[in-house]
Amino acid sequence: MEDGIPIDMKAAIYSYNVWVGEVDGNRLRDLLDFTLYRAGFEVLNFMEHHFEPQGYTAIWLLSESHLAVHTFPEEAKAYIELSSCNKTKNALFAEIISPLGIKEVR
Amino acid sequence: MEDGIPIDMKAAIYSYNVWVGEVDGNRLRDLLDFTLYRAGFEVLNFMEHHFEPQGYTAIWLLSESHLAVHTFPEEAKAYIELSSCNKTKNALFAEIISPLGIKEVR
């Protein structure tokens, strides 16, 4: 410990990236909100954008870095990217999201 | 062309990640704002957070996906991550940011 900063707070970013076959923005937002909560992330802020004629982006500002989702409806897929300084929570996020019914694609 | 979607709009995410030796949030925000503008990105939304006792996160929601910066003042470094569906603008961003005086670190 040094100045209250835990030793495991060493600056590092762990990435979790996945392409999924879900493009409904509201459904993705709800699933990701739930996954963040279950993995123990703290959401500090949020923004989203619905593109015309289609497409959706949502970004969560976390105590532990950030999460983003971008949909590409023209190709029936979306890109989810979690960048976090907390390795344990990142692993939990990956574990929790897989059985939630979002099909992984490439 | 199909429904007005240019052929090069194929769903792909190009990542540019770098650790830099700058931790001043305002300076990073200004530099990144400028770099986005010069690289031709369209900023649709923005959010930032100043952590206590230290640390700063800023995230830009772009027409072309997103950009984030997270500072780790306790280690005198920050992580910049651009995730964009536009390969050309991503390359431009990388080109423009390097001479701006942010020292790359690891």
Tell me: the pLDDT tens digits for B43-85?
Answer: 999 999 999 999 999 999 999 999 999 999 999 999 999 999 9
**Tokens of residue A84, six digits:** 């976090």
Q: Which domain holds residue A73?
A: 13-100
Say how many domains are in chain B: 1
Instruction: Flag whether B66 is in a domain.
Output: yes
pTM across the whole model: 0.89
Distance from CA of A90 to the nearest CA of B (A): 16
Is residue A60 exposed (0-12), middle (13-18) or buried (19+ Cβ within 10 Å)?
Answer: buried
Contact list in B for residue A75 (CB cut-off 8 A) is: 10-11
Instruction: Flag whether A105 is in a domain.
Output: no
Digit-coded pLDDT (tens) for A11-44: 889 999 999 999 999 999 999 999 999 999 999 9
Residue of chain A whose alpha carbon sits nearest to that of B75: A11
Digit-coded pLDDT (tens) for B75-92: 999 999 999 999 999 999
Active site residue B70: yes
Instruction: Flag whether B23 is in a domain.
Output: yes
Q: A66–B68: do the CB atoms touch at under 8 Å?
A: yes
Quick one: which of A100, A46, A39, A90 has its CA closest to A68?
Answer: A46
Q: How far apart are CA A80 and CA A96, in angstroms?
A: 14
ipTM of the complex: 0.87
CATH number at residue A33: 3.60.90.10
